[in-house]
Amino acid sequence: MTNLDGFILKHNNPDANPLNALKFTNLSGLCCGDKAAAVVCRYTATLGSITGTTAVDQVRIAGTTYDLDGAYLVNQERERDALVANLERLVDETLGYTGKGNITQSFSSGTMTINVDYSDLEFEWLESSATPFVPTACQMIGDVNTGTCDAGASIVVVAETLVVKPYAAGAITNVTINDGGGDVYNGNLANGVTGNATVTTDATGQKVVTINGASGGENWTGSVTFTVSITQSGCAAVTRTIILVYP
């Protein structure tokens, strides 16, 4: 049986007790008609400049905004722990996924960070769109190239350079990356330089798009909204929008 530790996957029976030792998910390969493949991503949300009145009472997951059970004053450790427990209950009991133990928080120098382990759900934002969940790593699970149209991308800022890693269940035919002012990359992920973007293949065979906004004249500062669209053979484009904060 698949080890589910570190993955937020949908229960085949969402009405089952989430504390059961035996869990059947739609990627466990245990039942007919299970989902063949999926892109799962790790997410991080960072809320800084926290004061005694900074509260969190909403989260947006997979296109829906949910009201939490309270307004958690996140300058207090017990409130941050309660927030994580509420998020786990939401994922487990309302959404029918395996959330328990896969969502954590940390706090340092007035900044709270929420980390979500590999998830089949798209985590979008915490409290408001100003605090997005940023996909920091993605991977394929299940059987690829089986007609599944799932796709996604990890997208992070490394030393003020944008780094995007697109993933898809099928063969990717085109990727566009738009910064709100136009496409900063539009291509089929062939290695080489396209405008201000450099495409390489890492040691695992994953394609990596690296964009230095300074050399291209974008000179990104503050909050920048990026939209990544991934097209694969036989599938409509899958679009991911994310806000990244530059120094």
SS3 228: strand
Distance between CA atoms of residues 59 and 62, nearest Å: 10
* pLDDT-above-70 percentage for the chain: 85
Q: 7: pLDDT confidence band, cut at 50, 70 and 90?
A: confident
In one-letter notation, the amino acid at residue 13 is N
Outline which parts of the chain fall under CATH 2.60.40.10. 151-247
Q: Which residue has the tokens 């993605």?
A: 138
Region of poorest pLDDT, from 32-46, 84-98, 99-113, 229-243:
32-46
Give the three-class secondary structure for 84.
helix
Q: What would the pLDDT profile of 147-174 be if each residue is shown by its tens digit?
A: 678 888 999 888 788 999 998 888 899 9
Spatial strand order in the sheet of 207-212? 151-158, 161-168, 207-212, 197-201, 192-194
pLDDT in tens, 198-233: 999 999 889 999 998 887 778 888 889 999 999 988
Q: Yes or no: say if 141 and 38 are a contact pair by the CB < 8 Å rule.
A: yes
Pick the CATH number of 151-247 from 1.10.3720.10, 3.40.50.720, 2.60.40.10, 3.40.390.10: 2.60.40.10
Using a pLDDT cut of 90, give the percent of the chain over it: 52
Residues 6+ apart with CB under 8 A from 120: 7, 8, 9, 10, 27, 38, 40, 97
Number of C-beta neighbours around residue 176 at 10 A? 16
Antiparallel, parallel or unpaired: β 161-168 and 207-212:
antiparallel
Rounded to 10 degrees, the C-alpha dihedral 154/141/13/43 comes to -20
Confidence check: pLDDT of 108 > 60: yes
